[in-house]
């Protein structure tokens, strides 16, 4: 990340609104996907409880439940013990979803296991969709005083600043909500990223990035990321 002193402002006669943030380039939606009818049941896989982001993941689960219900859907979340047992069986059936040598995800194995899980869960629960949720690390583009990534734009977070403006270029680490949705028949529905929050702030005096002490202080850090990630279901 490169820090550039702000240039003096130049008065202009007219101004225009900033363009909407660009969606993630790796978003994907099935060509024939149509949102389930209102009142349909959507089942959520519980968040993974990754070390260091557990609080944010719990907020994500709560926001998904709230925003889906506000959109007119019924929502249920699998009990963690039940999910872990089912997922262990599905992962074993495809020979594992991670490569034994590199530890990398095996995309086809993951897709097959998720499809089987969705069919199994939705047959019993009579759900229309199964959604897998995660908080993932992404790259945000820095431009001026803002960072943009995965359909969102946020003010760059600073500490120990002087009485001046700062402008930035380059990239920085960011967190996004990732949702993968599978239909009751096991068909891929969509994979969507929504920019959630910037976990680091730039300490101007020390000229370094530091993990924010107030990270996930409120669920507003997750709200926008969930909203953007849910657009295939909520944006008509």
pTM, entire model? 0.88
Q: Quick one: pLDDT at residue 169?
A: 78
Q: Quick one: pLDDT at residue 236?
A: 64
CA distance 116 to 121: 9
Q: Give the SS3 label for residue 111.
A: helix
| Residue 199 in this model has a pLDDT that exceeds 90 | yes
Instruction: Choose among 157, 117, 133: nearest CA to 67.
Output: 133
pLDDT per residue over 144-182, tens digit each? 888 999 999 998 877 766 666 766 678 999 999 999 999
Q: Quick one: pLDDT at residue 202?
A: 77
Query: Contact, 139 vs 130, CB < 8 A?
Result: no
pLDDT per residue over 89-112, tens digit each? 999 999 999 998 999 999 999 999
Rounded (to 5) percent helix, strand, coil in the chain: 25, 35, 40
Average pLDDT value for residue range 4-30: 67
Binning pLDDT at 50, 70 and 90, where does residue 208 land?
Answer: confident
Kindly report the number of other CB atoms within 10 A of residue 7's CB atom: 8
Binning pLDDT at 50, 70 and 90, where does residue 136 land?
Answer: very high
Between 67-71, 95-99, 144-148, 188-192, the lowest mean confidence (pLDDT) is in: 144-148
Average pLDDT value for residue range 19-39: 95
Mean pLDDT of the chain, nearest integer: 89
């Amino acid at each position: 990340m490169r820090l550039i002193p702000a240039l003096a402002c130049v008065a202009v006669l007219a101004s225009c609104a900033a363009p909407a943030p660009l969606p993630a380039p790796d978003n994907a939606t099935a060509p024939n996907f149509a949102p389930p009818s209102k009142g349909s049941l959507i089942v959520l896989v519980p968040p993974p409880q990754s070390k260091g982001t557990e609080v944010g993941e719990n907020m994500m689960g709560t926001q998904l439940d709230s925003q889906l219900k506000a959109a007119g859907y019924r929502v249920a979340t699998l009990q963690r013990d039940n999910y872990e047992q089912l997922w262990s069986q599905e992962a074993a059936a495809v020979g594992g979803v991670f490569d034994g040598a590199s530890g990398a995800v095996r995309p086809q194995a993951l897709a097959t296991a998720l499809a089987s899980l969705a069919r199994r869960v939705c047959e019993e629960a009579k759900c229309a969709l199964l959604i897998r949720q995660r908080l993932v690390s992404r790259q945000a583009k820095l431009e001026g005083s803002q960072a943009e990534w995965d359909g969102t734009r946020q003010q760059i977070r600073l500490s120990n600043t002087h009485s001046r403006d700062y402008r930035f270029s380059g990239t920085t680490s960011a967190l996004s909500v990732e949702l993968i949705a599978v239909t009751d028949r096991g068909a891929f529905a969509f994979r969507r990223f929504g920019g959630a929050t910037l976990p680091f702030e730039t300490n101007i005096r020390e000229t370094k990035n530091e993990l924010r002490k107030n990270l996930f202080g409120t669920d507003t850090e997750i709200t926008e990321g969930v909203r953007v990630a849910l657009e295939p279901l909520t944006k008509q």
